[in-house]
Each structure stands twice: as structure tokens, then as C-alpha cells.
Structure 1
């Protein structure tokens, strides 16, 4: 913090870590640009030196709620009882859960003629050490759940995937937060996660993808990239462009706050609002499918779904 040659920080990964560091960055007038910390109020709590290339969780919770609200099961029935598994000790997971529930409530009020969806709490807390996926799943089904939403933190993706895997043939319609876009989901969940729908900030093979970025990234790393890679690239590019306008910490912050500042990144145009959140809110939906041409190292992979 005292090293004035450090002008900005790219990070942190989790919202919990970013929140812990944000107060120090504000005090030290050091810009932080996070590509992955999605807790809804993070930038608003620290509006001066905290910026994000990832939109807040509320954006994706809203989109997921809308997709589920208009979803019918195989029998053609609306999903009316939605169970949630989340990490009670994680800032992002709590934020996504609360935003999702609020949006379902709002959709109910806007559509009184449609069967009202109920989001009910379960004992499915992914932060608990003594964790039995089968017992939790049995409880969820005994409560009459029509669908299951997995809202893991980066540390509990494996537990969420284990719950999906425990479903067997009698599978509930499955949905996930942005955090579930990870190799662990496919490796651990296997056939249990097939059909799970996710809303994420960016997918490499969608219409909005920057093909130049994809080609260069493949040459550099020799493999495919995820939304985390793309938004980390955008965070770095934002800082580089900002430093062209000023090489001081305060000057960099002022550049980001300018209404005229924007950067064309891998995920589209990056421009910040007054609170440090991204103005444009890129998003794609993906579904997990079994694929013969899977590049994930498993039989399953993420597939773009317009």
C-alpha cells in the first residue's frame, strides 16, 4: 500500500476477499478493478476506488429468475416450488440468493394470473463441514421442490456439484449461479449436472465474443478461456488505458470516473458508473450437455444457449 510505484490492483477473486481489502484501498487511494467479485453492493459500499468489470450479482440473479419463472417441466407444468442451496458464509452467495428471491417475488406481483412461484429455504448450506449430499437432496425432494438452484461460492463448487450428482435418474430441473461455471462442476457433477442452466457474463462462442481476443488467448495459453479470463483481461486493459491519461493513483481514479472514459474489451465496452459498477451488463446463458467433442476433459461441457 505504501509503495507508490503500484498504481492499481486487478482483483480480488471472491467478493469476501475484495470487501476485506476495499477499505484499505480506499484509505490508500489505490484503485482496485475486480473481474470476478460479484456481490451486489460491493462497489456502492466503497464508491471511490473500487471498480468492477463484472456486473453485480443482481444482474444475473434477475436474469436467472426470469428464465426460471417462464420455465415449464417435462410435464408442461410451471415451476412453483424452488429450492436453493447456497453458502451462508460467502458474501457473493448470500447476495445472489437474496437478489434471486427478490426478483421471484417481483415477478409474482407482476403476473398475478400465473401460478405463484415459491422460493423456500432448506438446510442446504454449502458452508457446513458435516455435509451429506444425499440427505440434503432427499429432504429437498420430500418438501415437494420443482427445481433446484445451486448458488456456490468459489470454495464450495464441489459440494454443489456433489448434490447434483446425487440426484440419480429422478432429476429436478437444475439452475446455477455464475460461480458454477467451472471445471469442477463438470468433473464432479458428471451426468448429474447435465441440463443445468447458468447465466454468465461471457461465453467464448456466443455472438458477442471478441474473436481477436479468443485467437490471441489461444496462442498464448494453448487452451480455451472462460468468462473469468475475459473479464480479467478487460480489467487489465482498463488500467492500461487509464494510465495513459494519468500515472498517479488519484489521476487514474479520476480517469475511471470520467463520463468520457470507456474501453473496448473482450466482453464488450467497459465504462463505469459513478459508483464504480459497469454500465453495460454483458451476459450469456449456457447449458451443460453431454458432447462427443467436449474440450473440458470430461464427457460434458458448457454449450451456448441463446
Structure 2
């Protein structure tokens, strides 16, 4: 592809992106199916000057002020005034108007608890930096809390959930972790959601002996990082191994090039693990292309890869470099086979990649159609009014792991001991939840393929690979 055409493709990608996130509305789009179930306007900016107290809420203030109903405002004010009867009525009315608001559901359940005895956990989320991903994760936490509390609590004790805005910032996440460690009411944490932030905050949680479970951080550096840091998402080692095996055994190809972001721990991790796994399978990674370089050119990279005899393009892009990865997809023009990690598992890939992305294989932690035995997809659709993403499913699992541990030993040290024990298990959205001694989840990854379809509304869908 010429430089001129490449520029045109990038412009198209940007226009599509603006169409999604601009124009006064930001659609929550399910990462698995594309069915739109939430509209927010991201007018809350990253503000590093916010105090830690302003970043944490149990219902007395909103951390997601965009597209807020008047009933939700009234409910939050009522919680601040400790008028829990009014808060319950107002937040219930708000959810009748906007059923897919997880913050309102969390605060409603907290209001129902009032000042009664409870077990408290906190979600550390990038509310200001990435409100869509924060909402996806919060839906899983809210669903688990709602199920626990409406079924009688944890041996009769309800679950209270706080929300903390870490802005996907390692320094802020560490301050939040310090605050939560000092608050002896907090018995566990769900999050953070990116590897770099989890590693930073994990140092504080480890020192303070407070368990945190990340639903979405996949870097191999998290394995054996701390006795107090767990995750419900499989590590990059698992994803890389599945992709390498598929490349060599199923596609019967042995020469790959990898596109990655050198500034991302996740991306670096997936790239390195894939190269190692391909080598063990008898193949090779002949080149690596850094998407974060200012002079990166998709067209020139494809040309160079082709000259080196590459048969496969592996996209280890993270969210920040997804646009450039999609330029690679377009520039490739379906000449070389495409593999990708879970940050490419987004409706944007279907929209921008379009026909050029058909047959791309992705290694993902969960697909809504991946487990026919699970009733989680049906329950989540009934609750939220649409399909949910893998982040929602694995945040649900993180919360279920904590509540199961709380049932057995409701102390900080007790939770750590329960989760670490060889006989621990809990039923989750993505199957049985068990942890390895490393803190990693003992679970496989799912391969999905991009195919023509109508479910997402983009003319293309992700479907599980048998």
C-alpha cells in the first residue's frame, strides 16, 4: 500500500473513532457482540489534583457524573445525608429509567445496608481515564454484589462496595492503595485493570497485606509478584501459547512478525511470550515492529515483513496503539494471516478492520458464547438489558472469589489464606475459579475468529473457534 493510501486508511480510522466517541455521546459497546447498552458523555477529565477522599465513594458522591439522572442525584444526596429510605427509592427510580448504570446499582445495594454490619470491598477503576472500561468492570462487580445481597448476604452479612477512581495512573493507584490499606473496614480490592497500574499498586497491597484481584491485568510480571495479588484473567503466557500453537499446528505457518507497544507492560509481555512460544513450536519471529515509534509506517512494515518471508502478523497492540494496529490490518490487505491479543478484542476492530480483518484469530479470556453451561450471559442480559464484555465477566469472577473467601474467613489474612489454598474454588462466569500458587487463574484462554455476521451491528462478529 502506498504512503498516500496508508494515510487515507488512518484518516478513515480516526473518523470512525470520532464517530463513536465524539458528537456529544459515547456509546458503551460490548466487546463481544457490539450491542449497544449504555450512553455516556465523557466530560469528566483526568484530574490529578483530586484528593484521594474525592476519588473514593460508597454512594455519597458520584464518580461518573456524565448522563446522570435527577433521581440518581437525589439518591446520592440522600446517602450523603444518611437518609437511606429516600436513597433506596430514588436510586430504584433511577435504575428503572437507566437499568444499565452499575454505579447506581452499587449505591442502591449500599443504601439498603445503611449503617448495618457489612463486609466491605473496593473497586479500583480508571473512571476518569477510561469511563467505558470502568463501567464494563463495574457491571461485573455490581452484578455479583446484587446477587449476594438479594440472596441473603454472606452468611447473613451483606456486601458493601466502594468505588475508587485511579485514573489508570500508577502513582494515583498507589495512593488509593495506601488509603485502602489504612481503612481496616476494607477487606479486599477488585482491580486495578491494567498491568502497569496493578504492578505499581500491588507493592502497596502486598506491604499492607490486603488482597487485590485484578480482572484484566495479563502481564507475566504479575505471576508470583505477591501473595496478596491475584487475577481472574489468564496470563499472557497462556494466550501466547495458544496463538503460537494455532499458528504452527493449525495454520501450518512458521514465520511471524509481531507488532507491539514498547511503552506498555502488557504489550511487551505478550510479544515476548509469543516469540518464546513460537520458538518452542519450531517456528520463529523474524521481526518486531514498535507501534509507539513516531515514524512507524504500517505500509513499510508490511513491505519489510513480506521481504523477510513472514507468513503471519501478530498484533500485540494495547489500547493506546489499536489505531496503528488497525492500519496494519488495512495495509495487509488479507495477504498474511492475522493473530492478535485481547486488547484487539473490541468492536472497533470489527468496524475499522471490516472485511480486511475477516479470519483474524484472537486469544481472549472469555466469549459470551464460549460456555454453553453457564447461565451468566442470560442473567447479565436480564440485569443490564444487553450483552456484556469479557471485562464484566472476569470482574464478576473476581468479586465472586472475594465473596467465597469472605464466607470461609472474613478477615484480610483469612481471605489471602483461603484464595491460596489448594482446595479453593468458586463458580464464576468463566467457569470454575481456582488460583495457582503464582496468583494466576488456573484456566485456559478462548480462541475467537472474526467472521461475517449480524450480531454486532458492524456486519462482522467474533465467534468461538471450536
TM-score, normalised to structure 2, is: 0.59
In structure 1, the residue matched to 2:302 is: 137
Identify the structure with the greater helix proportion: 2
Give RMSD over aligned pairs: 1.7
In structure 2, the residue matched to 1:212 is: 375
In structure 1, the residue matched to 2:258 is: 84
In structure 1, the residue matched to 2:40 is: none
In structure 1, the residue matched to 2:344 is: 180
In structure 1, the residue matched to 2:185 is: 5
In structure 2, the residue matched to 1:69 is: 248
CA distance in structure 2 between the partners assigned to 1:89 and 1:30 by the alignment:
29
Q: CA deviation at 1:14?
A: 1.3
Instruction: Specify every segment of 5 or more residues in structure 2 that has no aligned partner in the other structure, as ranges.
Output: 1-179
Residue 286 (str. 1) matches residue 448 (str. 2) = yes
Match of residue 316, structure 2, among 146, 151, 159 = 151
In structure 2, the residue matched to 1:93 is: 267
The 10-residue stretch of structure 1 (209-218 or 264-273) with the greater mean CA deviation from structure 2: 209-218
CA distance in structure 2 between the partners assigned to 1:43 and 1:21 by the alignment:
15
Q: Over residues 25-63 of structure 1, what are the superposed CA-to-partner deviations in whole Å (9 max), with x where a residue is unaligned?
A: 1111111101111111303122x1001111211111111
Q: CA deviation at 1:270?
A: 0.7
Q: Over residues 121-149 of structure 1, what are the superposed CA-to-partner deviations in whole Å (9 max), with x where a residue is unaligned?
A: 23x21222444322322332233321101
The 10-residue stretch of structure 1 (126-135 or 16-25) with the greater mean CA deviation from structure 2: 126-135
Secondary structure of the residue that 2:281 maps to in structure 1? helix
Match of residue 30, structure 1, among 182, 203, 210 = 210
Residue 121 (str. 1) matches residue 287 (str. 2) = yes
User: Does structure 2 retain, via aligned residues, the 8 Å contact 1:202–1:209?
Assistant: no
Instruction: Specify every segment of 5 or more residues in structure 1 that has no aligned partner in the other structure, as ranges.
Output: 73-77, 109-116
Secondary structure of the residue that 1:41 maps to in structure 2? helix
CA distance in structure 2 between the partners assigned to 1:26 and 1:296 by the alignment:
41
Q: Over residues 82-111 of structure 1, what are the superposed CA-to-partner deviations in whole Å (9 max), with x where a residue is unaligned?
A: 111011111121111111111122122xxx
Secondary structure of the residue that 1:70 maps to in structure 2? helix
Distance 1:210-1:202 versus aligned 2 partners, 3 A rule: farther
TM-score, normalised to structure 1, is: 0.88
Secondary structure of the residue that 2:449 maps to in structure 1? strand
In structure 2, the residue matched to 1:305 is: 465
Structure 1 residue ranges (4+ consecutive) displaced by more than 6 angstroms after TM superposition: none
Q: CA deviation at 1:209?
A: 4.3
Residue 229 (str. 1) matches residue 392 (str. 2) = yes
In structure 2, the residue matched to 1:238 is: 401
Secondary structure of the residue that 1:166 maps to in structure 2? helix
CA distance in structure 2 between the partners assigned to 1:278 and 1:181 by the alignment:
20
Count residues in correspondence.
286
